[in-house]
A and B are shown apart, each in its own frame.
Chain A
């Protein structure tokens, strides 16, 4: 069904393009496939799969083990305010410092997460992510029909706001689903937002992003026509 391409661009402080990498994405993740399969069922017979969020915490499809997502809802969700409403993560493409041993089985980008969130503990800050921009600048607002089929391009820009160079070895397309954290006697008592990786890829060679440099990362997913 799905083929995806990734593109990585690094620009220096003057906006000059210093690195471009483009390639076929290798790995829709097992976590995504489990959520996708569970989304075919109804509430009465949805299978129980264990799924891991980007930091490796488990949640479940179905309604038996908590935290659970029931029949997964909006598995392609990249809505910026909903990501940011209670904590600092932002959609949609996160970066890690090292390669993943097996991207298809990874929960997110590997090594230390360096681009994922707002906060001074991360060297990259989101750039051009704005509530005032159509679809927050994360993606186009509607599909486009290309020679390769219907295309969805999702993009993030991250600015190295630290004083040190940062090495990027892997990237992940991150969506999120809502899970119920606890329920007793039919009463739901909590909801948690679970960011999870749809796709994880290793870069063919690590990319160094110097202080003040901007890295633009994008995935384009194609649905054949």
Chain B
């Protein structure tokens, strides 16, 4: 009897392996020929950054729905999950370029994940459009990586100016997610900018670290409480940041918290609840201030598609990444990846939903930033900050 069961199990295992191979044997059209153009979507769908990835995918899918074709061919989105993990990100990118043979890639939310894919897309010569990855290292030295968002040297100055000018802060404490390249980069640029503004080399009274996935920050926050800062700058993932602020309020810390664009997800408010009232951060786009005609198109379509929900800034960025790629493909006249890269670099004054896009010499978009604040459990717009020309 046992032998029969083991033979049955073995046959079952082997047949499942064989059948799973049969699944994706669709005719490989690749980048030349066929009547489908494949665009890879490289986002975190699970893991710590899943919410951010989901928002961007909403924007990308919306754009695909509004503009499903280019050059008479259907545009097919190939989604891969980088699982918010650097190792998985490299694997996911490899799968897109080697197995799926996509023409171009959109992604990712999370600079560490984008950087993990950098070498792979450069070697494969597949142009990649970053959506909300703001660390400058993503595009530096990689002529195949572009992005539709601004970079952290700019974002750091935005919040430093806000802290100094609006909040009149002289002493700032920093709580950073040390395992996240984005958080460290942004903290560094903020520090440089704030030191220059105050002229005081000791204006950063404390720097404390935590890791992705940590849940207990009481020790770090108790130390900070003793240093008595005017403002706390906490760049990091939305879940951890919401818990940081919540625990700070529970410890009796009343200091205002400021942060970066990663905070703008629904989970930030559902996890932080009343504690995150007043939290202020910089981001890419505000629905209260549509910038171009495409913004209106995007907003109307998004509200219709998702039943009146207001889009997050990164959804607009996902949307822009898609349409800027399509526009470049149209100009090239074919799905040739190398020619596409060159054409993308020549983009001038592109009317995106989240603003007008011009690429600088490192393929970063030069755009304005928006400051938002949590008020009454919602993200509300505060002001626009223009980039220094």
A and B form one complex = no
